[in-house]
Amino acid sequence: MATNYVLVDFENVQPDSLAALAGGAFRIKVFVGASQARGRISFELSHSMQMLGANAEYVKIARSGPNAVDMHIAYFIGRLIEKEPNAFIYIVSRDTDFDPLVEYLQASGVACKRAKTIAEIARSIPKPKAPAQAPKSTRSAVPPPRRAHSDKLAPIIKQLHSLSGKPATRKKLSQTIANYFRQHGGPLADSAIEQLIEDLIRMKYVTQSGTKVSYNLSQ
């Protein structure tokens, strides 16, 4: 299962808390600039870091310099995708200088996105569903575990990014995804294709209005 990484550019964005990510499987690194004043980190942020335990840590930059934090984040991403090529990476920053890097990673098949706030990432966490009632039949079949789709999202994002004429309807998008996997690794079930489309919509790479779809693949 792919791991979700959240890399916070603390020089650019100072979240009050990371508690909103406690409900998801995230590993969080807060990159703090060398020149940032002591006491800048609030009690709420420190407390939420402690609650996340080993899944959250600070990365203090040793020296000041132009874009020093940005360079450290880019270096960490490079090391990360060497070890975990299927990881999903969120960069928390309002700095649009990250966008060319994000676009390059997406085109290379890496699942990466820049978010302006922690809340934006938290909204992408699937809400837990109410437990289904046990069937009345004496034979209760146990459904197979649902397969994670994150390993399939990255190549689809890359494929859509490369298309000059993108599918304009959900039906055409479904056909495009089906054709891609038919040529790369074998066909997918209709339910798996629909789940991939829902994931693209949930993560705001695709927007649906009626039967029409539009794209925001460079976010």
Residue with tokens 């959250």: 56
Domain boundaries, the chain: 4-122, 150-215
pLDDT (tens, 9 = 90+) of the chain, 219 residues, equals 678 999 999 989 998 889 888 866 889 999 998 877 554 677 888 888 888 888 889 998 888 888 899 999 999 999 999 999 889 999 999 999 999 999 999 998 999 999 999 999 888 766 555 566 656 655 555 544 444 445 778 888 888 888 888 999 999 999 998 888 888 777 888 888 898 899 898 888 899 999 999 988 875
Identify the pLDDT of residue 141.
52
Identify the pLDDT of residue 95.
93
Identify the pLDDT of residue 98.
94
Q: Which helix (H) or strand (E) holds 4?
A: strand 4-9
Residue with tokens 């940032």: 36
In this structure, which CATH number among 1.10.10.10, 3.90.1150.10, 3.30.1130.10, 3.60.20.10 belongs to the domain 150-215?
A: 1.10.10.10
Whether 124 contacts 203, CB under 8 Å = yes
Reduce the DSSP state of residue 128 to 3 states and report it: coil
Identify the pLDDT of residue 199.
87
Residue with tokens 């807060």: 30
Identify the pLDDT of residue 5.
94
Reported pTM: 0.57
CATH top-level class of 4-122: alpha beta
Reduce the DSSP state of residue 69 to 3 states and report it: helix
Identify the pLDDT of residue 80.
93
CA–CA gap between residue 216 and residue 84 (Å, rounded): 25
The CA dihedral of 160, 165, 168, 169, to the nearest 10 degrees, is -60
Q: How far is CA 168 from the centre of its chain?
A: 24
Reduce the DSSP state of residue 26 to 3 states and report it: strand
CA–CA gap between residue 213 and residue 208 (Å, rounded): 4
